[in-house]
């Protein structure tokens, strides 16, 4: 929830900063992309560290890093300073997400595992809704700095987590067997690409790239796209809040279907419907169509995210699970770096919003195809040790 709140606030702050600091579309794109640069580094490094030192300690450190950096962002006096702090916050954010899903995946019985991880990820929607509420009620009256200060709250939550969570039993047993002398990062990387995992890794990297590329390209620009379509800043925040509420039922339906019909079914279906929604949103001509398409986009895209987080840890053994998840997430973040900046460049060149969203339509179809052709079903199977 706190992760999403931080990322979500960025999309609204970008729209406010563009007006206050007279940012060009390219600068707005760079500002939203720099967060993902940090997330790419954070996911890869924290994934490896969590396999080496434990899920709990890495979870706490990444939580603290992004909370403190977010709070300090409020004091930024220049665009460059703000970008540096957003990189650091992104590092913590990117590291925390795959470690959290790995920890929960390893702590829950096989019959409930997929549902538990999707429900964990559903709190992303709660955080995005919180960011929309903060942006709607606070940014117009109290400024974007206040939104960043609120983003520092999770630092206090780390104190609670320190006492309330433990490393999963299967990880402790794995660590005991290796006596703390686990493989190096290079060895773990090779293991993730070994013949036994190559097909899954290829599929996951394509899936993560296409989902993250489309999500960050579309959702970080939603408030700005609404402004480009002629709505006021406050009205844009209002509509995006309505669209964001649709994320929750998207997650909940995915959580139900994932244990009933399987991981591949949920991912392929929800990705196909995300692609259709993207094309619809980009080419919507009326206010009602725009909101309806935005609601469908949120519903299906976030349902697919939940399925992806549940599916990824299930394809690797315990000794490299967090590394595998972290590397897939890290590769995906490259998509999150490219997309917002690319949209900024396309907007600056006055490319139609409809054409930009057709690009996302094609990208998402590639992800769905990768899962359909290369994915293996893991529903009900025990995690490999």
pLDDT grade, residue 180 (50/70/90)?
low
pLDDT grade, residue 15 (50/70/90)?
confident
The CATH number given to whatever domain includes residue 174 is 1.20.1250.20
- Mean pLDDT (whole number) for 36-60: 87
| CA–CA separation, 319 and 312 (whole Å) | 14
213 falls within a domain: yes
pLDDT of residue 232: 65
| CA–CA separation, 170 and 172 (whole Å) | 5
18 falls within a domain: yes
| CA–CA separation, 87 and 73 (whole Å) | 10
- How do the residues of the chain divide into helix, strand and coil, expressed in percent and rounded to 5? 85, 0, 15
pLDDT grade, residue 234 (50/70/90)?
low
Q: How many CB atoms lie within 10 A of CB 221?
A: 26
- Does residue 286 sit in helix, strand or coil? coil
218 falls within a domain: yes
Pull the structure tokens for residue 377. 């079903």
- Mean pLDDT (whole number) for 91-104: 87
pLDDT of residue 349: 85
Tens-place pLDDT, residues 102-133: 888 888 888 888 888 888 888 888 887 888 78
pLDDT of residue 365: 96
Which is nearest to 73 in space by CA: 19, 24, 45, 35?
A: 35
The DSSP code sequence of 3-28 is HHHHHHHHHHHHHHHHHHTT--HHHH
381 falls within a domain: no
pLDDT of residue 340: 76
Residue 186 has pLDDT above 60, yes or no: yes
More confident residue, 317 or 360: 360
pLDDT grade, residue 273 (50/70/90)?
very high
pLDDT of residue 384: 62
Residue 200 has pLDDT above 80, yes or no: yes
User: What are the backbone angles phi and psi of residue 140, rounded to the nearest 5°?
Assistant: -60, -35
| CA–CA separation, 4 and 124 (whole Å) | 5
pLDDT grade, residue 236 (50/70/90)?
low
Query: What is the greatest pairwise CA distance in the chain?
Result: 63
- Mean pLDDT (whole number) for 145-173: 83
Domain that holds residue 203: 2-374
pLDDT of residue 177: 77
Buried b (16+ CB within 10 A) or exposed e, 35-44: bbbbbbbbbb
42 falls within a domain: yes
- Please list, in sequence order, all residues whose beta carbon lies within 8 angstroms of the beta carbon of residue 120, skipping any fewer than 6 positions away: 100, 101, 104, 309
User: How many independent structural domains does the chain possess?
Assistant: 1
pLDDT of residue 51: 83
Tens-place pLDDT, residues 278-323: 999 888 777 788 888 888 998 999 889 888 988 888 888 877 888 8
pLDDT grade, residue 88 (50/70/90)?
very high
pLDDT grade, residue 373 (50/70/90)?
very high
382 falls within a domain: no
The DSSP code sequence of 310-354 is HHGGGGS-GGGHHHHHHHHHHHHHHHHHHHHHHHHHHHHTT--HH
380 falls within a domain: no
Long-range own/partner contacts, residues 376-379 (CB < 8 A, 24 or more apart): 376/199, 376/200, 376/315, 377/262, 377/263, 377/264, 378/263, 378/311, 378/314, 378/315, 379/114, 379/258, 379/259, 379/262, 379/263
pLDDT grade, residue 215 (50/70/90)?
confident
| CA–CA separation, 180 and 188 (whole Å) | 14
Pull the structure tokens for residue 4. 């999403």
Q: How many CA atoms lie within 13 A of 257 on its CB side?
A: 19
**In the block, residue with structure tokens 């279906």:** 269
CA geometry: angle at 109 spanning 372 and 159, to 5°? 105
pTM of the model: 0.81
pLDDT of residue 264: 92
Q: What is the mean pLDDT of the chain?
A: 84
Which is nearest to 2 in space by CA: 119, 92, 118, 115?
A: 92
pLDDT of residue 91: 92
383 falls within a domain: no
pLDDT of residue 77: 84
pLDDT of residue 274: 95
């Amino acid at each position: 929830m706190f992760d999403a709140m931080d990322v979500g606030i960025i999309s609204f702050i970008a729209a406010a900063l563009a007006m206050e600091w007279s940012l060009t579309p390219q600068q707005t794109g760079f500002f939203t992309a720099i967060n993902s640069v940090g997330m790419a580094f954070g996911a890869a490094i924290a994934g490896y560290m969590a396999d080496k030192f434990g899920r709990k300690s890495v979870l706490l450190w990444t939580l603290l890093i992004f909370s403190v950096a977010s709070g300090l962002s409020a004091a930024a006096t220049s665009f460059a300073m703000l970008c540096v702090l957003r990189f650091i916050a992104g590092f913590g954010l990117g590291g925390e997400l795959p470690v959290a899903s790995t920890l929960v995946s390893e702590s829950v019985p096989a019959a409930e595992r997929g549902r538990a991880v999707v429900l964990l990820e559903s709190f992303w929607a709660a955080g995005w809704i919180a960011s929309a509420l903060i942006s709607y009620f606070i940014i117009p009256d109290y400024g974007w700095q206040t939104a960043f200060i609120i983003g520092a709250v999770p630092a206090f939550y780390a104190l609670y987590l320190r006492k309330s969570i433990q490393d999963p039993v299967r990880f402790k047993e794995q660590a005991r067997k290796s006596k703390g002398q686990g493989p190096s990062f290079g060895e773990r990387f090779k293991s993730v690409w070994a013949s036994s995992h190559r097909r899954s890794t290829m599929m996951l990297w394509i899936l993560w790239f296409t989902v993250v590329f489309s999500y960050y390209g579309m959702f970080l620009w939603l408030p700005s796209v609404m402004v480009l379509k002629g709505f006021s800043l406050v009205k844009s925040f209002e509509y995006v809040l309505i669209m964001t509420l649709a994320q929750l039922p998207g997650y909940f339906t995915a959580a139900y279907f994932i244990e009933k019909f399987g991981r591949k079914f949920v991912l392929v279906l929800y990705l196909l419907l995300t692609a259709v929604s993207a094309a619809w949103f980009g080419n919507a001509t009326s206010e009602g169509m725009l909101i309806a398409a935005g609601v469908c986009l949120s519903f299906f895209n976030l349902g697919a995210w939940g399925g992806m987080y549940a599916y990824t840890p299930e394809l690797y053994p315990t000794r490299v699970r967090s590394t595998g998840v972290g590397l897939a997430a890290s590769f995906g973040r490259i998509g999150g770096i490219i997309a917002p900046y690319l949209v900024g460049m396309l907007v600056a060149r006055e490319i139609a919003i409809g054409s930009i969203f057709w690009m996302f339509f094609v990208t998402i179809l590639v992800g769905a195809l990768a899962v359909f052709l290369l994915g293996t079903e893991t529903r009900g199977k025990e995690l490999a040790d």
